[in-house]
Amino acid sequence: MSLLPPYVALQDYKLIIAATGLASYFVFKRYEPSTMAPVLLILCGVPITLAFALRGNFNNLATATAAVPATYWALLTVFVVIYRVSPFHPLARYPGPLLCKLSKGWLMYYTGSTGKTYAYIHQLHQLYGDVVRIGPNELSIRHKDACVAAVGPKGLPKGPYYDTRLYDGEPSLEGIRDPALHAVRRRPWTRAMNSASMKYYEELIYNTVGDLVSGLKERVGGPVDIADWMSLFAYDFMGRIAFTYEYNMLKLGKDTHGLRQMVENCFFDLRWIAHIPWFIPLLKFMPGAGKDLDDLKAAGTKVALHRVSLGSTRPDLFHHLMDEDGHEPTKPKPEMVVIDGTLAIVAGADTTSSALSHLWALLLREPAYFERLRKEVDEAFSGADNIDFVKQAKMPYLNACLNETLRLLPPLLSGIQRRVERGSGGKMVGPYYIPEDTQISLVSYAIHRSIDSFSPLPETFWPDRWLAQEEYTLPSGELIPADDVHTNRDAFMAFSQGPAVCAGKNVALAEMRAVVCAVLRNFDIRAMDKRCLDTWEDEMVECFLTKTGRLPVQLVPRS
């Protein structure tokens, strides 16, 4: 005997659907389910069950299973829309585009279709001010005090953006959201980047820069895509530092492994998914959707197995991640080391290569800065050898040019995300009160171009802003006093800040300084296509990291 009534009055069954939809909305709002089972249960299981229960109100079961779920989903959507644009929403007082308030799907679409989300958010800040609502529960903040408050020593934990993992199982160091667990996993990275380890890495930098110069000397006269060669250098170096693995890209003049294309494909897939991380479990049911990730994982496993065959005689990154010196109470899982090591190669290579490529493009657009930097390099290295890591770290104009490049075109254009956790009571970020259950994005591209943190000329490549001077000469030739120049180092996010600051920051800076000095000492560089300089920023594409365009140059040996 059925326990369900054969018929419910018309007005009653509509009320039941509405009440069920409202209840489901409150479940989503309160618990934010992101795993497959509860999402499918609420979106599919509930309306189908409801259709079966109310089938007596329709001509047949087929009609019920079409009408009831459609009504249920429509009501669920209406409840979501009304609340998100209502004055009762915790973020109602913060301005932003309507599409952003309604759903992160808009930024997902914009990212996937244009790769220019960083520029879009920068435009929003120019329109709305220092704080912009870029999602139903997400704000972008560029206020001069926001960085320290959000990511400093007493900052906020990471947001769901970091749930976009490369592989199943253990997250990489970058993907760990629990601050306590992050601190534990970061310990071997700290040992891997201490002063003793740096001596070994400096030898690797020296040798890899030598391979770069040798490869470029074979191609004098041009055209040479200097951006491509910066990438070859970075991957060769990261292969050596992470796994003592020889990709030999510089010696061959190309990527015979297909690694760079593999990385590009992988991160292009992930760049839009990061805006809706709850969608990740669904990818497992889409044929071929995980192929790029699987290929990258296989490439990482290959070099890790090669490193295991070499033994523990080399103090590379793998040596420290595997804790071969026995500092930790328990040995790390090999698959965890593969994930961290692979991410180190990918992230370390791409950030360094894009930064160096940006530097060459900006210097070639500004010949006066180019000549000033080369003069400093020539005066510092009068002999044949052009790599002295201690001396390079103290070269003011070289470091000013690097800082200004990283400011204007940071490798991580969209920056980082943090979250004000439920139960925290909210958090003050700069002058703004941020309610709990809110994500905060610090978009480096927008923060670095804020006139409140970097003035004058925040949109202009002007290395002098990083130098201590009593008087400054603007690119126009106008003289201004030091009090009129503001360079807020607390808002400089090229390597992040606080507990999550880039572990390889010192290695990356040493790499870039060495490359710049070696190339300038050995070659005159002339742009072969001015259009590439004019459209350099237009060709950039954000895919977690940065994909740059071509930069063809002619190299002329210097005597």
DSSP code per residue over 32-49: ---SHHHHHIIIIIHHHH
Contact 95, 133 (CB under 8 A): yes
**Cα-based angle 209, 369, 371 (whole degrees, multiple of 5):** 70
Neighbours of 403 (CB within 10 A): 19
Per-residue pLDDT of the chain (559 residues; tens, 9 = 90+): 344 455 556 567 888 888 998 999 898 888 877 677 888 888 899 999 988 888 888 888 888 889 999 999 999 999 999 999 999 999 999 999 999 999 998 998 898 888 899 999 999 999 999 999 999 999 999 999 999 999 988 889 998 887 765 555 677 777 788 888 888 888 988 888 888 889 999 999 999 999 999 999 999 987 999 999 999 999 999 999 999 999 999 999 999 988 888 888 877 777 777 787 777 666 666 666 667 777 888 888 888 888 888 877 788 998 888 888 888 888 888 888 888 888 888 888 999 999 999 999 999 999 999 999 999 999 998 765 678 899 999 999 999 999 999 999 998 898 789 999 988 999 999 999 999 999 999 999 999 999 999 999 999 999 999 999 999 999 999 999 999 999 999 999 999 988 888 888 999 999 999 999 999 999 999 999 899 999 999 999 887 788 899 999 999 998 7
The torsion of the CA quartet 4, 10, 16, 19, rounded to 10 degrees, works out to 180
The residues, ordered by sequence, that sit 6+ positions from 248 with a Cβ below 8 Å of its Cβ are 236, 256
Angle ∠(69,75,78) on CA atoms, nearest 5: 145
Q: Write b or e for each residue in 247-273: b if 16 or more Cβ atoms lie within 10 A of its Cβ, otherwise e.
A: bbbbeebebebebbebbbbbbbbbbbb
Residue 300 CB-density burial (10 A; 0-12 exposed, 13-18 middle, 19+ buried)? buried
Listed by start position, the domains of the chain span: 10-85, 173-453+488-557
Q: How far apart are CA 474 and CA 335, in angstroms?
A: 52
CA distances to 151, 167, 170, 223, 334 from 303, rounded to whole Å, are: 34, 17, 19, 33, 13
- How far apart (Å, rounded) are the C-alpha atoms in residues 141 and 156? 14
Top CATH class, 173-453+488-557: mainly alpha
Residue 205: count other Cβ atoms within 10 Å of its Cβ.
24
d(C-alpha 219, C-alpha 234), whole Å:
19
How does 508-533 read in b/e, with b if 16+ C-beta sit within 10 Å? bbbbbbbbbbbbbbbbebebeeeebb
Distances (CA, A) of 130 to 96, 134, 150, 155: 11, 12, 15, 19
| Residue among 306, 356, 292, 340 at smallest CA distance from 543 | 292
Q: What is the dihedral of CA 311, 313, 314, 317, to 10 degrees?
A: 60
Could you please report the per-residue DSSP string of 521-548?
HHEEEEES-HHHHHTHHHH-EEESEEE-
User: What is the DSSP secondary-structure string of 118-148?
Assistant: HHHHHHHHHHH-SEEEEETTEEEE--TTHHH
Side-chain-side CA neighbours of residue 118 (13 Å) = 28
Residue 502 marked ligand-binding: yes
**Interatomic CA distance for residues 131 and 134, integer angstroms:** 9
Q: Are strands 545-547 and 416-420 parallel, antiparallel or unpaired?
A: unpaired
Residue that the structure tokens 């992101």 belong to: 34
From the CB of residue 146, how many other CB atoms can be counted at a distance below 10 Å? 28
- Alpha-helical regions (H) of 105-243: 105-114, 117-128, 146-151, 179-192, 195-217, 226-243
